Structure 1
Amino acid sequence: WVLPIETAALAIRVSKPCSIRAQSSQVVSVVMEPQQVKEGYLVKRGTVLCSWKAVWVVLSDDAVEFYKRKTDSSPKAMIPLKGSTLTSPCQDFGKRTMVFKIRTEKKQDHFFQASHSEEREAWVKDIRRAISCLEAGKRFARKSTRRSIRLPETVNLNELYMLIRDQDNGVKELKLEIENKTYNHCFTGVTVVDWLISKEKARNRAESVMLATGLMNEGYLQPAGDLSKTGASGGTESVFLDESDAIYFFADSGFFCEGYSSDEDDIVKEEFRGNIIKQGCLLKQGHRRKNWKVRKFTLRDDPAYIHYHDPAKGDEEPLGAIHLRGSVVTAVEFVPDAKRYDVEGNLFEIITSDETRYFLQAASADEKKEWIQAIQAVSKTGK
């Protein structure tokens, strides 16, 4: 979608605290710059050639912008959300799953593909919220039920989340198996409620559920599995479930859910047998041309492998596999032969037992830290 430039109505979006929009040739008004809501890698279908390519996507409260590279200063295009509709899942492309569709007010369709279901759900949830806020004439805000659940304004949910997320004293992330599905980096509703009481953040289970519901509605905790998702979306109010079968995860964790079948185990390659510990998109430097490309990485624990795919082509065959047993992974500040404009920081390196070097680039410092910790743990314990 290309924003038309007209003499009577001109809209300018700039990365400053405010922007100037001329509503007519005589009247100029100053409005607040759109608020950035979410960003990350997605695969997008081209509108002309219809090919699928990985792009850097930024969601603001009134539009979706996408960039060829994360380091680019200006987007390839902007998709306005006012009057748009969203379809998820979008099943227009057969075997290509995890796709959602944005149809603009002018009936133009834009297709995006996430790397896994939880990532797609997170994007869809925020885009739908942005559209509904625009329809109501409100600034973007994730659904909050402070009043309906009587959560005091004095409660600092961000501060509470930092405590509950603490690696040493917070809620521990586990691998749980429920109804033929494996949930990685998650925890139960009961665990959260018990933690809040044990840390004297709540006097009883009812207060704990109220606090946990607030954390969930503000996006800090996410539901996983049918039971917890039903509680989050059922009725007029979202409810956090104090149950051992209700699964949740931290919004910024490496959570991933996979199904499994014993009938399939015999035909799966040995290196694919391990449980998925973490997955997502990273930039990888090529060994020959030294250029950087977006790759989807999947980390497994036993045997210890990390596979990488072209996210635009799906998971049919990996482009490569890194055997992590005995490998070393560390953060680095410099990458040999790297083009300056391709490197924004958040770099780390994997050196395998046969001294093969892989240079990777995460989207943020937190993401880099999570990948390093996960790979280090697998390299020590996996076969």
Structure 2
Amino acid sequence: MEGETVVSREGFLVKRGHIVHNWKARWFVLSKDQLLYYKIEGGKKESHPRGIIPLEGCTLLCPCLDYENRLLVIKLKAKNSVEHFLEASSREQRDSWAADINKMIRAFNPEPKEQMNSSNMSFETSTNICPSHIIKVMQEASSGIKEMTIGEYGNTYKLCFTGSTVIDWLVSRNVVHSRSAAVTLASLLIEDDFIKPVGHKSTKAMWNIAGTEQFLDDSTALYCFAKNERKTDSSSEKIEIPHMELSGKIVKHGFLMKQGHKRKNWKVRKFVLRAEPAHLHYYDPCKEKNDLPVGGLSLRGCLVSALEDNGIPPGVKGNVQGNLFKIITTNDVHYYIQAGSRAERSEWIQAIKQVT
């Protein structure tokens, strides 16, 4: 990842967006003067950071109780007054991240303005943009975006609109205050499967180099609404969890990457290992209400083993980072999981074997 001489620690945290206040899992790298965060694409950290938080003049608040459904949040306020909200997987992880970040802040601030939680803190008042609400308004017949039939490179596409039309709409409705911010917001709408590219030009933009926006502010790039596709995709992971499964003693928890069974894509999940009965559940840390698992498996009679890092094993898709392990259940269902490091992988394997 980064050079060994400058990296203090690295790992997953869940970050709140600046424009769209949704939560996304990102890989964070802490160095002596900045905190960088990367998007995970295809099971691997992108080569270029999605953002940088300078630590000089930064203040830290831990615990941060701004979100009643998220009690593991650290708040960083940068020198330019931009606020960053980062969520850890456990109280121990939150406190250790806060301690390590504050240690780096001390290098620039002999007396850092570390704050204990206080209800009297002043916060910037900004509108919480909800992607699903934006899409509903966009699709209103009277004031929304008009869908048209448009041709591109000899092909005809129905019920679509151009990229510049979306940007014009977002700016004119004062959803954002600049075209660059509108492009960022539209890219997030694509990432969340609310809008999808149509045709060659917009589809090609989805494969741009890391760090560039996916959405094109272009009068010849075509897009359409994804309609109900997002609901269909997200519901595939929802299952009913018997209460007895969640009653076991929590042995270990943390962020890991899991490969989906159907789409074979990699997503960051918060895993919770329980004993008596032995179960491993996983949660979507980006959901507003993330207190219920989106999946799980009984560990009784299962097999768990590390996978070699020299090459991609059969059954694993994507250009993965490494540190893989596999769990095979008694009914022969294979779960492929990635840890953040070899040491973390060994800890999880050992913990799972102990409860089984």
Shorter-chain TM-score range? 0.5 to 0.7
Q: SS of 1:125's equivalent? A: helix
After superposition, the Cα gap between the structure-2 partners of 1:372 and 1:34, relative to the gap in structure 1 and judged at 3 Å, is closer
Deviation at 1:376, TM superposition (A): 1.2
How far does residue 370 in structure 1 lie from its aligned partner after superposition? Answer: 0.9
The aligned counterpart of 1:240 is: none
2:74 is aligned to 100
Shift of 1:339: 3.8
User: 2:101 and 2:7 mapped to 1: Cα distance?
Assistant: 12
Aligned to 2:348: 371
Within 5 A, what are the aligned runs for 1:1-383? 35-69=6-40, 70-136=44-110, 269-313=243-287, 315-333=290-308, 334-341=312-319, 343-379=320-356
Greater displacement, 109-118 / 308-317:
308-317
Question: What is the DSSP-based 3-state SS (H/G/I as helix, E as strand, rest coil) of the residue aligned with 1:307?
Answer: strand
Q: Aligned-residue CA RMSD in angstroms?
A: 1.9
Gaps of 5+ in 1: 1-31, 138-267
Aligned-partner residue type, residue 57 of structure 1: F
Distance across 1 between alignment mates of 2:290 and 2:45: 26
Partners of 1:349 and 1:358 within 8 A in 2? yes
**In structure 2, what is the Cα distance between the partners aligned to 1:34 and 1:324?**
40
Give the drift of 1:112.
0.3
2:10–2:28 Cα contact (<8 Å) kept: yes
Instruction: Give, as a single letter, the amino acid of the residue that structure 1 aligns with 2:305.
Output: T
Counterpart AA for 1:115: S
Q: Amino acid of the residue matched to residue 42 of structure 1? A: L
Q: Report the residue type matching 2:98 in the other structure.
A: V
Q: Secondary structure at the match of 2:63?
A: coil
Counterpart CA distance in 1 for 2:5 and 2:68 is 36
SS of aligned partner of 1:134: coil
Task: Tell me which of the two structures has the higher relative contact order, counting C-alpha pairs closer than 8 angstroms and 6 or more residues apart.
Answer: 2
| Identical residues among aligned pairs (%) | 47
Q: State the AA in 2 paired with 1:307.
A: H
Aligned equivalents of 2:13, 2:97: Cα separation in 1: 10
Contact residue 16 and residue 24 of structure 2 kept, 8 A: yes
Q: Deviations over 1:13-58 (max 9, x none)?
A: xxxxxxxxxxxxxxxxxxx997211110000000111110100001
Counterparts of 2:4 and 2:314 in 1: how far apart (Å)? 38
Q: After TM superposition, give the deviation of residue 90 of structure 1 in Å.
A: 1.1
AA aligned to 2:70 is R
Task: Summarize the Cα distance change of 1:352–1:78 in structure 2 as closer, same or farther, 3 Å threshold.
Answer: same
Structure 2, unpaired ranges of 5+: 112-241
SS at the partner of 1:355? Answer: coil
Contact 1:291 1:338 in 2 (8 A): no
What is the CA distance between 1:321 and its match in structure 2?
1.1
Would the aligned equivalents of 2:27 and 2:45 in 1 still touch at CA under 8 Å? no
Structure 1 segments (4+ residues) deviating >2 Å: 333-341
TM-score normalised over the length of structure 1: 0.54
